[in-house]
Amino acid sequence: MQTISFELEVYSYQIDFIGHVNNTVYVQWMEIGRTKLLQAIGLPTHEIFKQGFVPVLVHTTIAYKSPLYLGDRVQVEMWLTELKNASAVMQFRFYNEQHTLAAEGFQKGLFADRQTMRPRRLLPAERALFLPYLHLAT
């Protein structure tokens, strides 16, 4: 089981009026994670459209645990917790430099036909690309 892991820096434009990272920035970081997942399986965003399907985000949930501040380095980890024929659930965790959990969340996405925008089942070969990142609950 593999995990997508990457580090980001907190910049001044990501800070809200209270002085910590704005909640919308976490959604942007999730987008970076999803993009990195697609790159890791060999379907970067510009290539996935050629497959005839597009990933469509349908749900986001984030629980904020500890604030992040200007100049912090954020460690992001993401993996799949569910992979169905036409949908997937991605789990995210955000840590500060001391490896304290700052936030965690998940997103659900559908695979949609590029022409009709209706749900589309992954072909077995397409589904297999995602399997290394699937962590089943024990």
Q: Report yes or no on 98 lying in a domain.
A: yes
pLDDT confidence of residue 87: 97
Residue 27 CB partners (closer than 8 Å, separation 6+): 60, 62
pLDDT confidence of residue 23: 95
Q: Percent of the chain having pLDDT more than 90?
A: 87
Q: Report yes or no on 33 lying in a domain.
A: yes
Digit-coded pLDDT (tens) for 23-37: 999 999 999 999 999
Q: Report yes or no on 114 lying in a domain.
A: yes
* pLDDT band at 53; cut points 50, 70, 90: confident
Digit-coded pLDDT (tens) for 72-123: 999 999 999 999 999 999 999 999 999 999 999 999 999 999 899 999 999 9
Q: Percent of the chain having pLDDT more than 70?
A: 99
Q: Report yes or no on 52 lying in a domain.
A: yes
Instruction: CATH number of the domain at 45, please.
Output: 3.10.129.10
The pLDDT of residue 135 is above 90 = yes
Q: Report yes or no on 74 lying in a domain.
A: yes
The residue to which tokens 């589309």 are assigned: 120
The pLDDT of residue 138 is above 70 = no
pLDDT confidence of residue 108: 98
Q: Report yes or no on 51 lying in a domain.
A: yes
* pLDDT band at 18; cut points 50, 70, 90: very high
Instruction: Report the C-alpha gap between 128 and 82 in whole angstroms.
Output: 13
Q: Report yes or no on 28 lying in a domain.
A: yes
Quickly count: other Cβ atoms within 10 Å of residue 74's Cβ: 21
Q: Report yes or no on 138 lying in a domain.
A: no
The domain total for the chain is 1
Q: What contacts 24+ positions apart, CB below 8 Å, involve 123-130?
A: 126/51, 126/53, 127/83, 127/85, 129/41, 129/42, 129/43, 130/41, 130/80, 130/83, 130/88
Q: Look up the domain containing 126 and give its range.
A: 4-133
